[in-house]
C-alpha cells in the first residue's frame, strides 16, 4: 500500500477516536478512497489488518455503501439528484445535458475520462431543486443553461 | 434566505442574519454557550425534568417525546452511555439539518453538550451523511474551537465534567438515518437495522451500551428549553406540539424553502408564506413529512373527533401544521419535509420516482422489503413506460400489504404508505393511466422525466 503521508496521518488520527477499532472502518475507507480513487482488495486487506478484523468485514462495508467503490471513476464525480422534488424541477433534463456535454453514459466514465455522471438520491437540498454535486460542491437551482456553464468550466479546468 | 414575517425563529434565529458566520465568535456574540454555563451548575436530573416538562418531541421523524426517551436510558448497567446526533438527513424532502450544521454549528454543539451533561454521557457522535462534506468540516472545526474555549472535552467549564464529540461520516445510504441502522454503521458494519426488542437503543445501543439517538433540530431545542424554561417553550404551539418546527417546502410553490414557525395551519404555510402554486397551476396533493408519509389530497374534507369530543371538518389548508394536526388528517409530520405536487404532476409517475428510491435504499435484510420494493419499482416503472397490465393496481396493493408491518424496521412502512395512500386517493388516475399509457402513441416524455429512474 502506497498511501500519501497525509492519508496515513488521517488514518492514525481516526482510529483512537472510537472506543472500538472496527468503528474506524468507514473513516479509513474514506481516507483511502480519496487517496487512491477506489478501494482495491489489497486496500481492504490492509484496513482489516490495521483494525484487527477479518477482510470480509471490510469488504462487506465497501459493497454495502453506494459511495465506496472498487473501481476508479472519471476525474470528476458528478451526482445529479433524481428524487421527486428535483425530478419535478427538471433534474432529468439537467442530467441529460451533462451526459451529452461529455458524451458520457450514466454510471460510466466519459470517453475522455474527465467525468463520471451518476444519479444520486435526495441530497437534502430540495428547496433549491434541481441540484447536483460535482465532487464536494453542491450546485443548486440548476437549469439546462446553468448545467452547460458548469460543464464548460470543468472542461476548461481539465485543459488547464 | 429571507425570513418571512409569519415565521417564528428560534433554532434558525441567527442562521440567516447578515454577517453571521459558523465561527464561535459569531455564536458567542449572540449569547452562545450561556445555557451550557447554566447547565453545568444544575443537577443533571433537573435538566432531564425540564426537557420532559417542555413536552419537546423528536424532530427526526417519529415525534417521540424527547424527555421520555432520555428517561428510558438504562443508568444502572454500569456501561458507558452514548449520545448520537442523527444528521443523516436523508428522508427525501428534508433540508433543515443542513441549514443548522452549515450556518450555526455551535448551537448544535451546545445542545449536544447540555444533553450529554444531563445524561452523563462522556462520548458523543454526530453521524453526518457523506453528501455534506463541508458540513462535516464545519463541525470538525467548530468542535476544535469549542474545545479551545473549554465547552467540549476535558473538564467542561471547570465543572469536572468531560465529554468528547466525534464527527462520523456516512457513505450515501439512506438506511443509516434509521437509528439502529445508524448504530450498526457507527460500529463499522453494514447499516442493517436491529430488531426491537431487544435492541432498544436506550438499553442495547452502540456497542450494546445504553444510547440516545436524537435528531439535529431536537438537540438544538435543548438550548432554548433551558433559556425559556419548559413553561415558556410550551407557550409556542398547541399542547403536545410544543416549540417551533422547521418546515422544508419543495415542489410546486412560488417560494420553496425552509421556514421555522409556531402554531399555524398548513394553508398559512403553503399559501401565505410559500406564495401558493405557480401562476396558472393549482395544488393537487401534499406529502407532508418526507417522502415516506401518506399523501394528503387537495379538495378532500378531513373529518373526525377531537379528544374532547368536538368534531373537526377541515379542508387541506385548514389542517393544523403540527404533529397532532397532520396525524388527525391521516398522515404524519415526519421529518418536516413537505413536497407540494401541483396539477401538472402525474401521481403514478411520482410514485415510480419514489419506488426507485426505496428499492435502491432497502438494506435487503427482510425478504418482504427487499423483494417487495423491487417489485414495486418494476411495476410502477412499467406503468410509466407504457407497459402496464390490467392487474397492476391490485398487485401493487397486494405487495405493499405484504411489506407493511412485516419487517425489522419502519422502512417497510415507508415503502408501503406511499403506494397505499396514492392509490387510495388517486385510484382513478392509476387505472386510467394504465389504460391510457398502453396506447403506443401516448406522449410519455414528461412522465418518464418525472419518474427519473432510467
Ligand atoms: C427509514 C428511516 C429513515 C430515517 N432517517 C432519519 C434521518 O435521516 N434523520 C433523522 O433524524 N431521523 C431519521 N429517522 C428516525 C430515526 O430512526 C430516529 O427516530 C430519530 O433520529 C430520533 O431522533 P428524534 O427523537 O430526535 O426525532 C429515520 C427512520 C427511518 C425508519
Ligand atoms: S425493513 Fe427493509 S430497510 Fe428495514 S431492516 Fe428490513 S430490509 Fe432493511
Ligand atoms: S429531491 Fe433532490 S435534493 Fe431532495
Q: Is the distance from CB of B338 to CB of B294 less than 8 angstroms? A: no
What the block records as the C-alpha cell of B285 is 396533493
Considering CB atoms only, which of B130, B188, B256 is closest to A23? B188
* Domain residue extents for chain A: 5-64, 76-159
Q: Which region holds residue B26: left if phi is over 0, alpha if psi is between -120 and 50, else beta? A: alpha
Same domain, B177 and B260: no
What the block records as the C-alpha cell of B343 is 396539477
Where does a domain end: B234, B259, B277?
A: B234
Q: Which of B61, B141, B131 is nearest to B414 (CA)?
A: B61
Q: What contacts A118, CB < 8 A, 6 or more positions away?
A: A77, A78, A79, A80, A106, A107
Q: Is residue B424 part of a domain?
A: yes
Q: What is the residue-wise DSSP string for A122-135?
A: --S-GGG-S-EEET
Residue B437 reports pLDDT greater than 70 = no
Where does a domain end: B323, B342, B361?
A: B342
In this predicted structure, what is the pLDDT of residue B385? Answer: 84
Return the ligand number nearest the Cα of B335. Answer: 1
Looking at CA atoms only, how far is residue B164 from chain A in angstroms?
Answer: 9
Which residues on chain B are in Cβ contact (under 8 Å) with A125?
Answer: 95, 98
Q: What contacts B78, CB < 8 A, 6 or more positions away?
A: none
Mean pLDDT within B45-58 = 98
Domain interval for residue B315: 245-342
Site residues for ligand 3, CB cut-off 6 Å: A 81, 83-86, 122-126, 129, 131; B 92
Per-residue pLDDT of B438-454, as tens digits, reads: 666 666 788 889 998 86
Where does a domain end: B200, B234, B268?
A: B234
Q: Is residue B239 part of a domain?
A: no
Q: CA B317: distance to chain centroid?
A: 22
The alpha carbon of B284 and the centre of ligand 1 are apart by a number of angstroms equal to: 28
CATH of domain A76-159: 3.40.30.10
Residue B58 has phi, psi (to 5 degrees) of -60, 140
**Going by CA atoms, what residue is nearest to atom 6 of ligand 2?**
B366
CATH of domain A5-64: 1.10.10
Q: Is the distance from CB of A61 to CB of B188 less than 8 angstroms? A: yes
Return the ligand number nearest the Cα of A94. Answer: 3
**Going by CA atoms, what residue is nearest to atom 1 of ligand 1?**
B411
Measured CA to CA, the distance from residue B73 to residue A51 in angstroms comes to 30
Q: Which of B183, B57, B33 is nearest to B111 (CA)?
A: B33
Same domain, B334 and B437: no
CATH number for the domain spanning B319: value is 3.10.20.600
In this predicted structure, what is the pLDDT of residue B438? Answer: 61
Mean pLDDT within B295-319 = 95
In this predicted structure, what is the pLDDT of residue A160? Answer: 82
What residues of chain A, 31 to 50, have a C-beta less than 8 Å from chain B?
none
Q: What is the residue-wise DSSP string for A29-82?
A: HHHHHHHHSS--HHHHHHHHHHHTS-HHHHHHHHHHSTT--SS---SEEEEEE-
Looking at CA atoms only, how far is residue A158 from chain B in angstroms?
Answer: 23
3 state DSSP class of B14: coil
Per-residue pLDDT of B121-150, as tens digits, reads: 999 999 999 999 999 999 999 999 999 999
Residue of A89, A119, A126, A138 to test ligand 3 pocket, by largest number of atoms within 8 Å of CB: A126
Q: Is residue B164 part of a domain?
A: yes
Q: Which of A88, A85, A81 is nearest to A147 (CA)?
A: A81
In this predicted structure, what is the pLDDT of residue B2? Answer: 81
Measured CA to CA, the distance from residue A147 to residue B202 in angstroms comes to 46
* Total length of chain A: 160
Mean pLDDT within B60-65 = 97
Q: Given the cut 0.95, state whether the ipTM is greater than it.
A: yes
Q: What contacts B239, CB < 8 A, 6 or more positions away?
A: B55
Considering CB atoms only, which of A17, A67, A93 is closest to B166? A17
- Within 13 Å and on the Cβ side, how many CA atoms surround A3? 24
Per-residue pLDDT of B277-303, as tens digits, reads: 999 999 999 999 999 999 999 999 999
Is B178 close to ligand 1, i.e. is its CB under 6 Å away? yes
User: Average pLDDT over chain A, rounded to whole?
Assistant: 97
Same domain, B316 and B416: no
Same domain, B333 and B364: no
Same domain, B75 and B200: yes
For the CA of A123, the closest atom of ligand 3 is 3
Same domain, B251 and B227: no
Contact A122 B91 (CB under 8 A): yes
Q: Is the distance from CB of A98 to CB of A110 less than 8 angstroms? A: no
pTM of the predicted protein model: 0.97
Residue B110 reports pLDDT greater than 70 = yes
In this predicted structure, what is the pLDDT of residue B440? Answer: 62
Same domain, B69 and B203: yes
Same domain, B287 and B360: no
Q: Is residue B325 part of a domain?
A: yes
In this predicted structure, what is the pLDDT of residue B21? Answer: 98
Residue B161 reports pLDDT greater than 90 = yes
Considering CB atoms only, which of A20, A27, A122 is closest to B92? A122
For residues A143, A149, A151 and A152, what is the CA-based torsion angle, rounded to 10 degrees? 160
Q: Is the distance from CB of B261 to CB of B7 less than 8 angstroms? A: yes
Beta bridge partners, B303, equal: B313
State which residue of chain B sits closest to A61, comparing Cα positions. Answer: B190
Percent of chain B with pLDDT over 90: 91
Is B370 close to ligand 2, i.e. is its CB under 6 Å away? yes
Percent of chain A with pLDDT over 90: 98
Q: Is the distance from CB of B357 to CB of B291 less than 8 angstroms? A: yes
Per-residue pLDDT of B340-393, as tens digits, reads: 999 999 999 999 999 999 999 999 999 999 999 999 999 999 988 888 888 899
Same domain, B367 and B418: yes
Residue A17 reports pLDDT greater than 80 = yes
Contact B131 A29 (CB under 8 A): no
Looking at CA atoms only, how far is residue A4 from chain B in angstroms?
Answer: 20
How would you label A108-122 residue by residue, b for 16+ Cβ within 10 Å and e otherwise? ebbeeebbbbbbbbb
Q: What contacts B119, CB < 8 A, 6 or more positions away?
A: B44, B48, B70, B73, B81, B83, B212
Return the ligand number nearest the Cα of B374. Answer: 2
**Going by CA atoms, what residue is nearest to atom 8 of ligand 2?**
B363
Residue A159 reports pLDDT greater than 90 = no
User: Furthest-apart CA pair in chain A: how many Å?
Assistant: 51
Structural domain count of chain B: 3
Per-residue pLDDT of B96-107, as tens digits, reads: 999 999 999 999
User: Average pLDDT over chain B, rounded to whole?
Assistant: 96
Residue A135 reports pLDDT greater than 90 = yes
In this predicted structure, what is the pLDDT of residue B442? Answer: 64
Contact A27 B169 (CB under 8 A): yes
Is B283 close to ligand 2, i.e. is its CB under 6 Å away? no
Residue B333 reports pLDDT greater than 70 = yes
Same domain, B288 and B412: no
**Measured in Å, how far apart are chain B's first and last C-alpha atoms?**
34
Q: Is residue B408 part of a domain?
A: yes
Q: Is residue B3 part of a domain?
A: no
In this predicted structure, what is the pLDDT of residue B407? Answer: 97
Query: Which of A85, A86, A98, A144 should we substitute to test contact with B (largest number of B Cβ atoms within 10 Å)?
Result: A85
CATH number for the domain spanning B412: value is 1.20.1440.230
Contact B166 A82 (CB under 8 A): no
In this predicted structure, what is the pLDDT of residue B157? Answer: 98
Across the beta sheet with B211-215, the strand order is B164-169, B123-128, B82-87, B211-215
Residue A110 reports pLDDT greater than 90 = yes
Q: Is the distance from CB of A125 to CB of B99 less than 8 angstroms? A: no
* Cβ count within 10 A of residue A107: 11
Measured CA to CA, the distance from residue B294 to residue B283 in angstroms comes to 16
User: Furthest-apart CA pair in chain B: how many Å?
Assistant: 75
Q: Is the distance from CB of B254 to CB of B280 less than 8 angstroms? A: no
Per-residue pLDDT of B385-421, as tens digits, reads: 888 888 899 999 999 999 999 999 999 999 999 999 9
Same domain, B107 and B253: no
Measured CA to CA, the distance from residue B366 to residue B371 in angstroms comes to 8
The alpha carbon of A46 and the centre of ligand 1 are apart by a number of angstroms equal to: 34
Same domain, B222 and B325: no
Amino acid at each position: 500500500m502506497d498511501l500519501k503521508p497525509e492519508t496515513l496521518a488521517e488514518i492514525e488520527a481516526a482510529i483512537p477516536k472510537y472506543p472500538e477499532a472496527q468503528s474506524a472502518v468507514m473513516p479509513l475507507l474514506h481516507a483511502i478512497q480519496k487517496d487512491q480513487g477506489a478501494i482495491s482488495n489489497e486496500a481492504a486487506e490492509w484496513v482489516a489488518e490495521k483494525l484487527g478484523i477479518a477482510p470480509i468485514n471490510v469488504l462487506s462495508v465497501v459493497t454495502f455503501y453506494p459511495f465506496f467503490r472498487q473501481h476508479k471513476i472519471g476525474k470528476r464525480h458528478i451526482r445529479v439528484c433524481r428524487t421527486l422534488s428535483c425530478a419535478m424541477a427538471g433534474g432529468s433534463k439537467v442530467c441529460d445535458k451533462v451526459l451529452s456535454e461529455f458524451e458520457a453514459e450514466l454510471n460510466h466514465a466519459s470517453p475522455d475520462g474527465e467525468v463520471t455522471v451518476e444519479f444520486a438520491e435526495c441530497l437534502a437540498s430540495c428547496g433549491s431543486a434541481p441540484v447536483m454535486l460535482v465532487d464536494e460542491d453542491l450546485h443548486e437551482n440548476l437549469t439546462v443553461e446553468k448545467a452547460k456553464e458548469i460543464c464548460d468550466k470543468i472542461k476548461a479546468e481539465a485543459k488547464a | 434566505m429571507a425570513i418571512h414575517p409569519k415565521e417564528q425563529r428560534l433554532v434558525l434565529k441567527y442562521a440567516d442574519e447578515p454577517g453571521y458566520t459558523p465561527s464561535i465568535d459569531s455564536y458567542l456574540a449572540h449569547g452562545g454557550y450561556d445555557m451550557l454555563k447554566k447547565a453545568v451548575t444544575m443537577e443533571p436530573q433537573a435538566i432531564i425534568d425540564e426537557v420532559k416538562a417542555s413536552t419537546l418531541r423528536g424532530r427526526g421523524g417519529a415525534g417521540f417525546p424527547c424527555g421520555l426517551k432520555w428517561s428510558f436510558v438504562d443508568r444502572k448497567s454500569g456501561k458507558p452511555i452514548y449520545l448520537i446526533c442523527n444528521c443523516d438527513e436523508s428522508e427525501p424532502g428534508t433540508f433543515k439539518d443542513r441549514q443548522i450544521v452549515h450556518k450555526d454549528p455551535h448551537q448544535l454543539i451546545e445542545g449536544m453538550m447540555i444533553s450529554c451533561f444531563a445524561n452523563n454521557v462522556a462520548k458523543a457522535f454526530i453521524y453526518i451523511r457523506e453528501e455534506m462534506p463541508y458540513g462535516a468540516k464545519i463541525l470538525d472545526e467548530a468542535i476544535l474551537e469549542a474545545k479551545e474555549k473549554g465547552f467540549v472535552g476535558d473538564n467542561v467549564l471547570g465543572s469536572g465534567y468531560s465529554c468528547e464529540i466525534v464527527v462520523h461520516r456516512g457513505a450515501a445510504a439512506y438506511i443509516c438515518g434509521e437509528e439502529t441502522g445508524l448504530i450498526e454503521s457507527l460500529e463499522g458494519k453494514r447499516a442493517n437495522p436491529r430488531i426491537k426488542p431487544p435492541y432498544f437503543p436506550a438499553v442495547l445501543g452502540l456497542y450494546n451500551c445504553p444510547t440516545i439517538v436524537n435528531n439535529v433540530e431536537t438537540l438544538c431545542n435543548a438550548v432554548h428549553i433551558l433559556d425559556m424554561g419548559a413553561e415558556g417553550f410550551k407557550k409556542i404551539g398547541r399542547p403536545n406540539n410544543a416549540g417551533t418546527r422547521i418546515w422544508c417546502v419543495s415542489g410546486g410553490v412560488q417560494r420553496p424553502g425552509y421556514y421555522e414557525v409556531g402554531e399555524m395551519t398548513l394553508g398559512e404555510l403553503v399559501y401565505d408564506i410559500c406564495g401558493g402554486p405557480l401562476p396558472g397551476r393549482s395544488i393537487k396533493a401534499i406529502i407532508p413529512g418526507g417522502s415516506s408519509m401518506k399523501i394528503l389530497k387537495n379538495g378532500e374534507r378531513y373529518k373526525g373527533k377531537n379528544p374532547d369530543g368536538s368534531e373537526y371538518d377541515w379542508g387541506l389548508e385548514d389542517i393544523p401544521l403540527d404533529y397532532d394536526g397532520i396525524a388527525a388528517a391521516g398522515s404524519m409530520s415526519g421529518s418536516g419535509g413537505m413536497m407540494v405536487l401541483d396539477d401538472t404532476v402525474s401521481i403514478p409517475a411520482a410514485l415510480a420516482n419514489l419506488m426507485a428510491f426505496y428499492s435502491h435504499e432497502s438494506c435487503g435484510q427482510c425478504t418482504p422489503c427487499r423483494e417487495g420494493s423491487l417489485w414495486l419499482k418494476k411495476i410502477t416503472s412499467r406503468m410509466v413506460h407504457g407497459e402496464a397490465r390490467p392487474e397492476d393496481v391490485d398487485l401493487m396493493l397486494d405487495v405493499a400489504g405484504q411489506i407493511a408491518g412485516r419487517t425489522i424496521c419502519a422502512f417497510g412502512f415507508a415503502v408501503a404508505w406511499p403506494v397505499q395512500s396514492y392509490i387510495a386517493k388517486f385510484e382513478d388516475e392509476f387505472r386510467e393511466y394504465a389504460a391510457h399509457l398502453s396506447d403506443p402513441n401516448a406522449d410519455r416524455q414528461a412522465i418518464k422525466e418525472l419518474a427519473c429512474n432510467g
